[in-house]
Amino acid sequence: MDVLPPEILAVLALVALVAGFVDAIAGGGGLLTLPALLWAGLPPAVALGTNKLQGTFGTASATAHFLRRGKLELRPLLPAAAASFAGSAGGSLLVSRIDPDALRWLLPALLLAFAAYFLRSPRVGDLPSRRRVGPAAFAATAGVGIGFYDGFFGPGTGSFFALAFVALLGLDLAHATGGTKLLNFASNLAALLVFAAGGQVLWPVGLVMAVGQWLGAWLGAHLAIRHGARLIRPLLVAVSAVS
């Protein structure tokens, strides 16, 4: 397709900045960027691929910030990250054969259930709680399953990972958010590689948006670490409810 006008690129970069900020704290940035790319006129498959390009930069920025600030233990989560990568690759390969619109009705219901979980548990995520599964089971279920969803469709992935970390591994919200960024980075990268191999990435647009994503994610990660559950929980609920 033709190169987008500068004013459209500016709007997309601004949307990406806001999305990167929101995504670094609560997930759900794709709920902003994917509709924006479709609004700009990108075909659905190209919009999905380009969304993965800019999203990869945002999750990389947030992951690096959480890692530097000690809110992310890398080694214990590597199996889950590898599972997320594999699941996302599978979802991206499948999406070229199945219409992802089949999932659109399910996403709002899942996100509303997610919001209800945090609203009914006002103290959840303040402190670590009981672990319900081990690292291997977490990788095989949440890693593969949510990673597959991210490769197949994507919006809301960060919110689903955050809930899984809290509900299954018993992490507090600050550490859960750090782990979420790592697994979301792995799933974004896998999907990006698959979409790029199929020629379904509009690189100039994705790279312009990547600048906004990187800056927004850095700021969001900084605030999430500084304010913890006081900031993360309300935004998680808000992102889930309005989606």
Average pLDDT of the chain is 83
Q: In sequence order, which residues have a C-beta less than 8 Å from that of residue 105 and are 6 or more positions away?
A: none
How confident is residue 105, by pLDDT bands cut at 50, 70 and 90? low
**pLDDT at position 116:** 65
Reply yes or no on whether the pLDDT at 241 is more than 90: no
Q: Which of 17-21, 45-49, 104-108, 192-196 has the lowest mean pLDDT?
A: 104-108
Residue 133, phi-psi category: left (phi > 0), alpha (psi -120 to 50), beta (remainder) = beta
| The two three-digit tokens of residue 227, written as one number | 């304010």
Q: What does the pLDDT average to over 131-138? A: 89
d(CA 195, CA 25): 26
Q: Which of 19-23, 114-118, 165-169, 186-190 has the lowest mean pLDDT?
A: 114-118
d(CA 50, CA 56): 10
Q: In sequence order, which residues have a C-beta less than 8 Å from that of residue 46 and are 6 or more positions away?
A: 1, 200, 201, 202
Asked whether 141 and 14 are in contact (CB, 8 A), the reply is no
How confident is residue 158, by pLDDT bands cut at 50, 70 and 90? confident
d(CA 188, CA 58): 10
Reply yes or no on whether the pLDDT at 227 is more than 80: no
**pLDDT at position 172:** 79
Residue 39: CA atoms inside 13 Å, Cβ hemisphere, count?
11
Asked whether 156 and 100 are in contact (CB, 8 A), the reply is no
How confident is residue 226, by pLDDT bands cut at 50, 70 and 90? confident
Task: Give residue-wise pLDDT tens across range 10-68.
Answer: 999 999 999 898 888 777 787 788 888 988 999 888 888 999 999 999 999 999 988 98
Q: What does the pLDDT average to over 124-145? A: 80
d(CA 203, CA 56): 13
**pLDDT at position 132:** 84
Reply yes or no on whether the pLDDT at 205 is more than 50: yes
DSSP 143: I
Q: Virtual CA dihedral for 78, 188, 107, 136, nearest 10 degrees?
A: -10
**pLDDT at position 54:** 95
Asked whether 34 and 51 are in contact (CB, 8 A), the reply is yes
Reply yes or no on whether the pLDDT at 100 is more than 70: no
- Percent of the chain scored above 90 by pLDDT? 45
Three-state secondary structure string covering 154-214 = CCCHHHHHHHHHHHHHCCCHHHHHHHHHHHHHHHHHHHHHHHHHCCCCCHHHHHHHHHHHH
